Amino acid sequence: MRRTAFFISDGTGLTAEALGHALLAQFEKIEFERVTIPYIDSEEKALEMVKRINKAAETDGERPLVFDTIVDSHIREIIGRADGFMVDIFGTFLNPLEQELRSSSSYTVGKSHAINNEGSYERRINAVNFALDNDDGARTRHYNEADLILIGASRSGKTPTCLYLALQYGIKAANYPITEDDLADQRMPKALKPHKEKLFGLTIDPERLATIRNERRPNSRYSSIQQCMHEIEEIELMYRRERIPYLNTTAYSIEEISTRIMVATGLKRHR
């Protein structure tokens, strides 16, 4: 069975997409053809959209699901005429919220992912630059500005996590790879010592690490299961000895790793 699901918005479509994916994830047996359509902000585009929904209904033999976050009720009403099953987010929740808040909605379009809060936006861009400048232990002299310093073996997920934390939450995260030299010393790398309270460790199953490393450098000592086992064992020992909070990333997505770090460290979201 196959159904088309449209995520339609007057803005980027990110909210409609997030909500739609969350709901559709509950129906594992059904195969969905997912289509995101951003910037539906005029009557003309809405009428085009109706045609597209009706065409999908005809092709599939089933009416498509339509998740929408369109603020303008007139445009929403046009989309509603199509042969689709509407999951109408603003239509459902805005009115009850207006009553609860005893305030009327401003009905402004594309608010959610626009630059409506200059300060927080600049913060995110600065955080991305910070993550790039302080990636992979390249520089350690700006660690006093960091909100967080991620440490761990090479290829354990530090860089994507730092970038995600920066883009999503404006958190300045540096990262430092724990190398064999560091481990031979049996103590915390010198550059990290003054910033112990900012450290968070990542670890990963050695088998998974070996697979990831093999994609970059096949059949090297660096990618061997022996080497990965050795590094991870020593690194986890170090985390425990130094009482550094840490997380095994093997089963988690970047979003989950980031969220769990936020919970564990109590860092504030800047957004």
Applying CB under 8 A, the residues found at the interface with a second copy are: 3, 11-15, 18-19, 21-23, 25-30, 36, 38-39, 65, 69, 71, 85, 87, 89-90, 92-94, 96-97, 100-101, 103, 105-108, 110-116, 121, 124-125, 128, 132, 135, 159-160, 163-164, 167, 251-256, 258-260, 262-263, 269
Single-letter amino acid, residue 115: I
Give the single-character DSSP code of 157: S
Q: Minimum CB separation from a second copy for residue 267, in Å? A: 12
- Residue that is written with structure tokens 């033999």 in the block: 61
Please indicate if the annotation marks 152 as binding a ligand.
Answer: yes
Residue 158 labelled as part of a binding site: yes
104 annotated to a ligand binding site: no
> And the tokens for 129?
């630059």
Torsion, Cα 116 122 125 128, to 10 degrees, reads -120
Q: How far is the CB of 86 from a second copy (least distance, A)?
A: 10
- For a second copy, give the closer residue by CB, 11 or 201: 11
- Confirm or deny that 154 is annotated as ligand binding: yes
CB of 113 to a second copy, least distance (A): 4
CA neighbours within 13 Å on the CB side: how many for 52? 19
Closer residue to a second copy, CB minimum distance, 30 or 237? 30
Q: Which is nearer to a second copy, 163 or 174 (CB)?
A: 163
157 labelled binding-site residue = yes
Q: Which is nearer to a second copy, 54 or 234 (CB)?
A: 54
Which segments of the chain are extended strands (E)? 2-9, 31-37, 65-69, 85-88, 148-152, 173-177, 199-203, 246-248
- Report whether 12 belongs to an annotated binding site: no
Residues 6+ apart with CB under 8 A from 129: none
The minimum distance between CB 28 and a second copy, in angstroms, equals 5
Q: CA-CA distance, 263 to 250, in Å (whole number)?
A: 18
Smallest distance from the beta carbon of 87 to a second copy, in angstroms?
6
d(CA 239, CA 234): 9
Q: Which residues are annotated as a binding site for ADP?
A: 152-159
